Structure 1
Amino acid sequence: MIVFRYLSREVLVTLSAVSAVLLVIIMSGRFVKFLAQAASGALDPGSLFLIMGFRMPGFLQLILPLGLFLGILLAYGRLYLESEMTVLSATGMSQQRLLAMTLVPATGVALVVAWLSLSLAPQGSMQFQLVLNKQDAMTEFDTLVPGRFQALNDGSRVTYTERMTEDRANLGGVFISEKRLGQDQKDRGISVLVADSGRQEIRPDGNRYLILENGYRYDGSPGQADYRAIKYDTYGVLLARPEISNEVTDRDAMPTSALWGNPEPRAVAELQWRLSLPLLVFIVTLMAVPLSRVNPRQGRFLKLLPAILLYMAYLTILISARGSLEKGKIPLGLGLWWVHGIFLSIGLGLLYWEPLRLKMASRRSMKEMARG
């Protein structure tokens, strides 16, 4: 029991450290992406941390199996390097018994991954989609930030305001530049609107207008001296009507209960993918235990790179098979299970090859001694 607690603590501590580092790296990259979208006006800056919270379960369900795999390699590699595993082997600790002890914390990790993949991650993806739908329904008036030029409508309109009240009801120092397109969708030049002030007005029919006051409108084409200037006291700019959609089409956001019994290839592939992640935990544990065995003279990182490449091959083939299953290129009965079968065989081969090799070498040495 003391040995079991010691080994479990080493694995779990290393797992926590590795997973935390991986989570920070991945979330930092995604946060920069969402931050860029917020800077361009595509997202509300106030919802960034909410979005990251919804995306975290989806990240963790992939990070935890990798963290466990690296945790076993690093923790047990250190024990081999410091000859602690040699002492344990001398007291009867076989590879099979070491694997059995390692599967106990691995089972806990698998249960957490199953909870994430089957329940929490789909819920987070659904909420993430709803937030994006809400963001898409926002008008340019809602996402405008004082003192910054904001490109909208694929860059066809650029809006700027010098100041804005806290309730976002009134603007000051407004500038709007918009491309003019003819009925044939050809460029007819640009229109520039400048105004001292502006406000949003919602008509009874639901249309929203940005009412500009005391300003000028300039129409023309860059490089040509045919501009037209119009002074106005009040000018209305139609804002795109928001279309609020509660429909969630992302496959990752579908509840697991809706996937059971669904014969569509996309639903079958998504369900098998969610079930594959907990199964992945046990198979990578089976591979990690023999791969962690190192010679103290070789160093603890000798097998780390090949082990990571093996894990990446496993995950890459699994993702590729998922895509093929969705497209109907793989029979639904075969599904993703053949990938797990291949790497289960690799793990069993790694587990039993080294003891078998040592036994054969020992017999060979005894025969040579007998001949001598």
Structure 2
Amino acid sequence: MIVFRYLSRELLVTVSAVSAVLLVIIMSGRFIKYLAQAAQGLLDPGVLLLIMGYRLPGFLQLILPLGLFLGILLAYGRLYLDSEMTVLSATGMSQRRLLLYSLAPAALVAALVGWLSLGLAPQGIAEVDRILNQQDSLTEFDTLVPGRFQNLRDGSRVTYTRELSADRSELAGVFISETNTSARSGKARGVSVLVAESGRQEIQPDGSRYLILENGFRYDGNPGQADYRAIQYDTYGVLLPKPQVAVELSEREAMPTRELLGSDNLRHRSELQWRLSMPVLVFVVTLLAVPLARVNPRQGRFLKLLPAILLYMTYLALLIAVRGALDKGRIPMALGLWWVHGLFFAIGLLMLYWEPLMLRLKKRRAAPGVAHG
């Protein structure tokens, strides 16, 4: 029991540290992407933290199996390197017993992953989808930040306002630069610059919104040429287009698991198998990691790390590929994703019993020679 607690503690601490690092890396990349959309005026900066919070369960359900896999490799690899595992082996610690000890922490991780995959992750994605749909109803006027130039329309329009009222209805010190493009060729054919002392938003009966500028100038021309045309105006209306938020979420990912259970749709059934596969993935990678963690102290701790990561990536990539084939009906649903888990389960068993099998074969080959002598 003491050995079990020691191994479990070492494993869980390493898994937590590795998962935390992976989570920071993945969330940082995704946050930068959303932050870029907010800088372009496609998202309200106030919803960024909400989006990241709701996406957290979806990130964790994929990170935790990898964190467990790497945690076993690193924790047990250190024990082999420090000869602690050699001492444990001398007291009767076999690979099979080590695997049984590892299954207890793996069961905790699998339970957490199952809770995330079947419950929290779909709820979080549904909330993100709701927030993004709300962002689709906004105009660039609603996403303006005073005192900052914002690129809109994929960089074809730059908007700036010096001041913005609390209810976002009045602007002061407005600057708008827009690149004019040809309808036929799509190439830029000049720049229009609008400056105004003030502006306000006006909603038409058909629902379209206009920015009404007051007391300003409009300049039209081509950069580098002295053919600019200046027009002074008292009132000028600018149509406010709706920002196009890039939504990467599918409807089935946001569906509650209970709705997937009774669905006959191929995509819904493959989604259900994917969610159920996440906890299964945890146990299979545990079986793969235990024999891979065994290293010779002379070889170093990271000798098998790269091949192990490649094996995990192959496992996950094959699951994703088969999921796509299930969506298109190319693979029977009864076979589904389970044959992939079965394949890597067999690989794990082969690695676990490979050395005992080779040892038995050597003994059988040596036995006739000994008897003859």
TM-score by length of 2: 0.90
The answer to whether the 8 Å contact 2:41/2:243 transfers is: no
Alpha-carbon spacing, 1:361–1:249, altered in 2? closer, same or farther (3 Å): closer
Shift of 1:224: 7.2
Q: Is the 8 A contact 2:149 2:159 kept in 1?
A: yes
Deviation sequence 1:110-134 (CA, Å, 0-9, x none): 0100001111111111111111111
What stretches of structure 2 of length at least 5 have no aligned partner? none
Shift of residue 286 of structure 1?
A: 0.9
Residue identity opposite 2:282 in structure 1: V
Distance 1:75 1:90 in 2: 19
Aligned to 1:102: 102
Q: In the TM superposition, what whole-angstrom CA distance separates every residue of 1:290-309 from its partner, at most 9, and x where no partner exists?
A: 11122222222222211111
Aligned to 1:40: 40
Q: Hey, what's the Cα distance between the residues in 2 that align with 1:209 and 1:139?
A: 10
Give the whole-Å Cα distance in 1 for the aligned partners of 2:348 and 2:148. Answer: 57
Could you say what the CA RMSD is over the residues aligned between the two structures, in angstroms?
Answer: 2.6
- Counterpart secondary structure, 2:194: strand
Q: CA deviation at 1:225?
A: 6.8
Q: Does 1:230 align with 2:227?
A: no
Deviation of the 1:274 alpha carbon = 0.6
Q: Which residue is equivalent to 2:9?
A: 9
SS of 1:297 mapped into structure 2? coil
More off after superposition, 218-227 vs 45-54: 218-227
Asked if 1:192 is matched to 2:229, the reply is no
C-alpha offsets along residues 58-90 of structure 1, whole Å, 9 cap, x if unaligned?
A: 111011001111111111122222222222222
SS at structure 1 position matched to 2:275: helix
Contact conserved, 1:137 with 1:243, CA < 8 A, in 2?
no
Structure 2 counterpart SS, 1:158: strand
- 1:1-372 equivalence runs, <5 A: 1-178=1-178, 190-203=191-204, 206-219=207-220, 228-240=229-241, 249-365=250-366, 368-372=369-373
Cα 1:269–1:87 change in 2 (3 A) is same
Q: Which runs of 5+ in 1 are unaligned?
A: none
Q: Report the 3-state secondary structure (helix = DSSP H, G, I; strand = E; otherwise coil) of the residue aligned with 1:146.
A: coil
Higher deviation after alignment, 80-89 or 33-42: 80-89
**How many Å separate the matches in 1 of 2:205 and 2:240?**
15
Equivalent-residue separation in structure 2 for 1:366 and 1:236 (angstroms): 96
> What is the alpha-carbon distance in structure 1 between the residues aligned to residue 31 and residue 183 of structure 2?
41
Using a 3 Å threshold, how does the CA distance of structure 1 residues 185 and 201 change in structure 2: closer, same or farther?
A: farther
Comparing 177-186 with 317-326, which one deviates more in the overlay? 177-186
Residues 193/100 of structure 1: CA separation in 2 closer, same or farther (3 Å cut): same
Normalised TM-score (structure 1): 0.90
| Aligned mates of 1:170, 1:255 — CA distance in 2 | 42
Q: Distance in 2 between matches of 1:271 and 1:347?
A: 25
State the identity %: 71
Are the counterparts in 2 of residues 208 and 241 from structure 1 also a CA contact under 8 Å? no
Deviation, 1:228, is 4.7
SS in 2 for 1:142: coil
CA distance in 2, matches of 1:11, 1:367: 44
Report the secondary structure of 1:274's partner residue: helix
